[in-house]
Amino acid sequence: MLKFLAVRMLTGLVVLWLISMAVFALFFVAPTNVARTLGGRQATPQTIELINHRLGLDQPIWKQYLTFLNNALHGNLGYDYYYQQPVTTIIREALPVTVSLALGAAIIWLLLGVFNGVVSATHPRSVWDRVLTVVSLVFYSMPSFVLGLAALYLLFFKLTLAGYPWFPGGGYVPMSQGIGPWAQHLVLPWLTIALVSAATYTRLTRGAMLDVLGEDYIRTAVSKGLRPRRVTYRHALRSALTPVVTQFGIDLGQLIGGVVVTEQIFSLPGLGRTAVVAINQQDLPVIIGIVLVASAAVIVANILVDLTYAVLDPRVRLS
């Protein structure tokens, strides 16, 4: 286990290093005036000269990259001249919003998708199976921005006009101000992401469960007189969750990297919305910082997925 973890962490660090090289080449080696871009259109020659000196752009390329890499390893992702504050401060303010959105939606879609998949697999070709299949296809085919706008119209606008202001129309309230207001502002974004993603997990769980239920050890467990519920959830589901966990790790890593559409619709100041604003303003330090943070989130999620395999499926051994 320790050897496997060490190898996977080393591989992840190599991938992150390659990403840092690509990002550095894209923004600092490309034939563009980085200092002029960072300083803005109204920057004076003295400001541009100061930016060049502070970023080390007047030094050789290899030395610039080593400085950039050393700063990133020490948690220094640069300085944002547009907002006059460190990039880490901007990310630190946006990251809790995206993490709250991602984790809440992930819990909902995982529970909902797995439960629906188990019901469909244990009752194949039944009314429940057909209904859940149709519902899954509907939400799977629906873009997230359509579902988000529909949720705002029906659950915010219509209910508020009717005198039931249960769901806010957007914004974010930190958990420090209370779990109730925090969850109330996130319930519509959670449902927007969860209902679309749960459809995928329903189909994955159903297909994997149907394969596992046909295995010899499942028939042996049934012939020994074990209760159907125990066979389904203790033996079959545990082995069928392997593809579900794989997809879950990928989706969760991407969500933490930033849910652009959902954050835009519900005015959530997370990483996705921050990235969109930074791209429109050509705010290079913020873009670089978000890319590195999102890449690290995806790498960590994949390492956790590999470790979860051995816990869920006893046939898998890490070496």
If you average pLDDT over residues 51-77, what whole number do you get? 76
DSSP 123-165: STTSHHHHHHHHHHHHHHHS-HHHHHHHHIIIIIIIHHHTT--
- Chain mean pLDDT for the chain: 79
The pLDDT value recorded for residue 30 is 58
- Is the pLDDT score of 178 beyond 60? yes
List the chain domain ranges.
Answer: 2-76, 97-312
Q: How far apart are CA 153 and CA 142, in angstroms?
A: 16
Q: Which residue has the higher pLDDT, 111 or 310?
A: 111
318 pLDDT band (50/70/90 cuts)?
low
Architecture of domain 97-312: Orthogonal Bundle (1.10)
**Torsion angle defined by CA atoms of residues 24, 28, 29 and 33, in that order, rounded to the nearest 10 degrees:** 160
Q: How far apart are CA 9 and CA 299, in angstroms?
A: 9
- Stated pTM of the model: 0.77
The pLDDT value recorded for residue 143 is 82
The pLDDT value recorded for residue 310 is 64
Q: How far apart are CA 319 and CA 316, in angstroms?
A: 10
Q: Can you state the percent helix, strand and coil of the chain, rounding each to 5?
A: 80, 0, 20
